[in-house]
Structures are given as structure tokens and as C-alpha cells.
Amino acid sequence: MRVLAAVDKFKGTASAKDVARSIGHACWELGIECDEVALADGGEGTLDVLGGPNRESVVTGPLGKPVKAQWRFQGDTAVIEMARASGLSIVGDAQHNDAIAASTTGTGELIDKALDLGAGRIIVCLGGSATTDGGLGAIRAIRSPARLKAVDFLIACDVTTQFVDAAVVFGPQKGATASQVRLLTGRLERLIQMYRENYGVDVSKIEGAGAAGGLAGGLVALGGKLIPGFEMVADEANLHDRVAQADLVITGEGQIDHTSYDGKVVGGVIDTAHHFNKPVAAVVGSIDFELVTDDALIRPNPLLAISDIYGREKAMNEPLWCIEHATLELLRNYVVN
């Protein structure tokens, strides 16, 4: 029997690599072969699953203070996770953020550094941003944007939000008040006209341009290509071939809800497993029953939530132990049945 552990991170408690390794440990205890693959959806955590950082640069943080941002450059490919330069986690949380002033300047500085090093391929991973500046800060930080025309410039994201809706959809979780959301929306509307005039690109018509507070749209205006984050990571990880070779697929994430099936890892893995007619199970941190449909609950079978099995406190404090032991029970039942 061969198991494929194809999982996302358990946000705030365990990395995708550690989750996959815990499932692998459970398989090893039962003498079952396990192929471990850490996945992501193009947002936070994507850098780690694409090889991890091997560079660190001091750039301008979201509120103007210098920050040390980790990123990756290998061969001619740069991987930049915008949250490490312009993320909400850098300022602490929404209460400590300045939703109006927050800028993507640092992300642009990392892109500029990649260009200076001769990058032929640049992947920018969106998600976790503190910003709603429409990417203007990043654009201004790239000293010679024309250099991007000679680069395979990819922007990985997992949302379909329109550019002008970025403030309404994401502003409040970044600390924006109702009046600030209106102000930010007006600023995004002006940027649509500016990008159309300066770059000949109408970002208002591009699905997903509102990702990361409109950074996606700003980078598209410079010639970037929006790609589904999960699909990009799945291709890099050779997921299809690995699913085809498995007898059982186990996926997982921190919390399963309605978004889990909309461009996210769990939904993508389940769809891939079904495509190859492979049984698929899921081990997750918790289930938001208010935000998940009955159909979503039965698509992976079984679906185990470690917070329900071991209690929320243990699941938060010892997630890897819980994941390993939940997987052991899952596999014992699977082998018996």
C-alpha cells in the first residue's frame, strides 16, 4: 500500500512539511510506504514549499520601517512571498496597521533586487498583505519596470476579487474603517485610470486583480501573468503523477470551510484524487460547520478534525502529535475495511 500525504500548513501551528512528515510517521509505524508532499495555494507558506528562502534582504516594511525579508533565488528563478515584505504579520495585526498608509514598496524592492541579479523568471506569491495600495508602492520601487518585459513574470494568487473591490472585501481585516474603505476604493478607482493611461492595461476587467489589496493588478499592469496558486505549486510538485501512483491520498489543512474548495489545497487535492479515481481522506485542525456545506464534508472520506478528537487546546499545542495519532486511527480503520 502506498499513501500520498499532500497537505497544506495548519496556519499558526504547523508547517505543511511538518504536517506531511507527521502523516509519514504514522505510515511508517504501520509499515506503509508514504510519499510526503507539502503544498500551498500561492499565498503565505508557498515560499517554503517551493524550496524555502536562501536570501534575506532589508527592504521597506508596510509602514515604512526597515524589515528583513526572506526570499529565494536559485538558477535564474526568484520566488518572492509578498507577506514577508508587506504582510500584516509584520505590523502585528489589524489593530496595529495603518490601512491607508500601508504600502507594497518592500515587495517591489525585492522584485528589483531579483532583476538586478539577472532573474529570468520571477514568481510573486500573494496573500497575507497589510496593504490596499493597488500595487503602487511596488511599482514605484522597481527602478526600471521595462526590464520585466524580458522576464517570465508570474503572480500566484488564490482569489478572484476584482481590483476595485479589494478595499471592500479585504480592507476591514486589515484594520480599515468603513470611511477608510470608501477612501481606499476611490484610490483604487483612480489607479485603474492611471494604469490604463500609463501601461495600456485595464486592470478593472481582470479577475483576481484585487488580490493582496490590488497588488495583483499593479503587477499585471507591468506585464505580470496571474496564475492560480495551487495549480502552480501542484505543477512544481508533480502532484498529478504522485496521485496516480498512490493507493490512498491524505490531505489536510488547519480549518476546513467553504473556501477550502475554491482554489485551495484541500479542494485541489480532492479533485485531483477523484480525477484518478483514488480514495481520499482528510485530517484537519477543525471544521467550521457554519461555513461548509454537507457536500464538502463528505467529499473526503473520512474527514477527521483533531480539535474534535483531542480537544482544541491539545490540537493547538501539540498539533503534530494529534495529526500523527489521528492518521494512525484512520489507517488502521482503512486497512481493516
Q: pLDDT (tens digit, 9 = 90+) per residue, 27-60?
A: 999 999 999 999 999 888 899 999 999 999 999 9
Count of Cβ atoms closer than 10 Å to residue 326 Cβ: 24
Per-residue pLDDT tens over the stretch 57-78: 999 999 999 999 999 999 999 9
Amino acid at 215: L
Residue burial 229-239, b: 16+ Cβ < 10 Å; e: rest? bbbbbbebbeb
The percent of residues above 70 in pLDDT, for the chain, comes to 97
Report the distance separating Cα 24 and Cα 324, nearest Å.
8
The yes or no reply on domain 2-39+237-336 and CATH 3.40.50.10350 is: yes
Cβ atoms of 278 and 295 within 8 Å: the answer is: no
Q: Which residues pair with 304 in a beta bridge?
A: 283
pLDDT band at 17 (very low <50, low <70, confident <90, very high): very high
- Tell which phi-psi region holds residue 176, choosing left (phi > 0), alpha (psi between -120 and 50) or beta: beta
pLDDT band at 262 (very low <50, low <70, confident <90, very high): confident
Per-residue pLDDT averaged across 99-105, rounded? Answer: 98
pLDDT value of residue 158: 83
The 8 Å CB, 24+ separation contacts for 300-306 are: 300/251, 300/266, 300/270, 302/330, 302/333, 303/256, 304/329, 304/330, 305/256
What the block records as the C-alpha cell of 118 is 539577472
Report the distance separating Cα 211 and Cα 217, nearest Å.
8
CATH class in words for 46-230: alpha beta
- Ranges in the chain annotated CATH 3.90.1510.10: 46-230
The pLDDT of residue 336 is above 60: no
pLDDT band at 288 (very low <50, low <70, confident <90, very high): confident
**Rg (alpha carbons) of the chain, rounded to whole number:** 20
Per-residue pLDDT averaged across 222-242, rounded? Answer: 95
Torsion sign across C-alpha atoms 26, 294, 13, 216: positive
The pLDDT of residue 289 is above 90: no
Residue burial 256-266, b: 16+ Cβ < 10 Å; e: rest? bbebbbebbbb
- Ranges in the chain annotated CATH 3.40.50.10350: 2-39+237-336
- Tell which phi-psi region holds residue 121, choosing left (phi > 0), alpha (psi between -120 and 50) or beta: beta
Q: Where are the alpha helices (DSSP H) in 200-246?
A: 211-221, 229-236, 239-244
Query: Which three-class secondary structure state does DSSP give residue 10?
Result: strand
The pLDDT of residue 90 is above 90: yes
Report the distance separating Cα 34 and Cα 134, nearest Å.
43
Q: What is the largest CA-CA distance in the chain?
A: 65
Per-residue pLDDT averaged across 89-109, rounded? Answer: 96
The percent of residues above 90 in pLDDT, for the chain, comes to 87
Beta 33-38 vs 77-81: how paired, if at all? unpaired
What the block records as the C-alpha cell of 295 is 457536500
Cβ atoms of 226 and 234 within 8 Å: the answer is: no
Q: What is the mean pLDDT of the chain?
A: 94
pLDDT value of residue 45: 87
